[in-house]
Amino acid sequence: MRMSGLPAVKRQHLLAEFAGLKQACPQGIYVSLTPGDPSLWSGVIFVRKAGPYAPAILRFQISFPDTYPSLPPLVTFSTDMFHPLITPLTTYMYSTDVQDGGTASAFDEERLPPGGFSLRHGFPGWFGRGSRAREARALAQAVATATGTTPGSAASGTSGVSSASFSSFSTAGYAQTGRKEISTYEVLRYIRSTFDNEDVLDSVPLEAAGNPGAWHAWRTHRRQTAGKALPAQSENKATEDSARAVADPGTGAVPAATKRPDEWNWEGVWEERVKRGIAASLSEGVLYGNAGTADEVIHFLSMEDAEVEGTKSNLLRTLGATA
């Protein structure tokens, strides 16, 4: 079991965080430890009536790396939901570094698996090639100063500092920005807010999206239903402009302008996809222990509305004045 392989301090840190959540957890969220593995948590979110995703029931997992809280946990949703921050379950892998004029390596450690939830918007200090590049340059300068060499030679290993050791130093410094530690409670509260708070979704930039299509669909929905004038953003405009200018090799003709994703017809897409996703989330058998899977540790009773009201009445009578 992974518990035996975790450092004792890390194990105690995660267990202490979980114990704290038993006393105070964001409303509508339930979490449970995976037996024998405190670094893997299972969770369920009940979206409240006021949220844009109400009344969905969403299952997810949180996997904590050994370097947490210096590096972020990996949040993955097993409930398929059309959401700007959730990578579709049908996607093999999606990088969280979509930026104008920039590309992401296939080995990008920030890539999201299917169902992965992007935390870049809520916790930018955990992410960013820019911050790592600055730290690498600062480390190179420090090594050069200490050894009396130029930064370039220090990084390349000519001063006795190997490129491998330099890489490990720069990686170790990644995301250590001097800020306070981010608790799991804050992560869970932020995740919940992206399902029940329209303003949070409005503020998500394109480069933080886990599903760019859902991002565009949400913005179209908001412009039409709430009259929100959201700032325009473009996906990798430099690449799109160059693609438009490519001439046909046979005729030499320049093809008609290809629409960018923000120019596609997103009208009604968000409403249709989310409505389907919510309906599917309410009928998943695994929520009630009927799917025959042993890896799900949170189950609920399937009750009709009348049964729920009767149970609430019994609880109120039992609690009496304290209710």
pLDDT (tens digit per residue) in 165-192: 333 333 333 233 445 688 999 999 999 9
> At the top level of CATH, which class does the domain 2-127+181-232+266-283 belong to?
alpha beta
CA atoms of 197 and 53, how far apart (whole Å): 9
Predicted pLDDT of residue 56:
93
By the 8 A CB rule, do 154 and 143 touch? yes
Q: Are 155 and 119 in contact (CB under 8 A)?
A: no
CA dist 57 and 176 (Å) reads 35
Q: What is the pLDDT of residues 200-259, one digit of tens each?
A: 999 999 989 999 999 999 999 998 887 766 666 654 444 344 444 445 555 555 555 555
CA torsion angle 123 129 133 136 (round to 10): 70
Q: Is residue 125 within 8 Å of residue 135, measured between CB atoms?
A: no
- Rounded to 5 degrees, φ, ψ at 61 are -130, 150
Looking only at the bridges linking them, the beta strands covering 37-46 and 57-63 are antiparallel
197: confidence class by pLDDT, cuts 50, 70, 90: very high
Contact between 233 and 263 under an 8 Å Cβ cutoff? The reply is no
The crossing angle, in degrees rounded to 10, of helices 212-225 and 269-282 is: 110
DSSP state of 286: G
What are the distances in angstroms from CA 167 to CA 54, 108, 137, 162? 46, 15, 11, 9
Nearest to 213, CA basis, from 127, 101, 103, 87? 87
Residue-wise pLDDT for 47-78, tens only, equals 987 789 999 999 999 999 888 888 899 999 99
Token output for 58:
């969403």
Of all helices (H) and strands (E), which one includes residue 273? helix 269-282
Q: What is the rounded CA–CA span in Å between residue 173 and residue 138?
A: 10
Q: How far is 179 from 174, CA to CA, in rounded Å? A: 13
User: Where are the chain's structural domains?
Assistant: 2-127+181-232+266-283, 128-174
HSE, CB side, 13 Å, CA atoms: give it for residue 262. Answer: 11
* Cβ atoms within 10 Å of 115's Cβ, excluding its own: 22
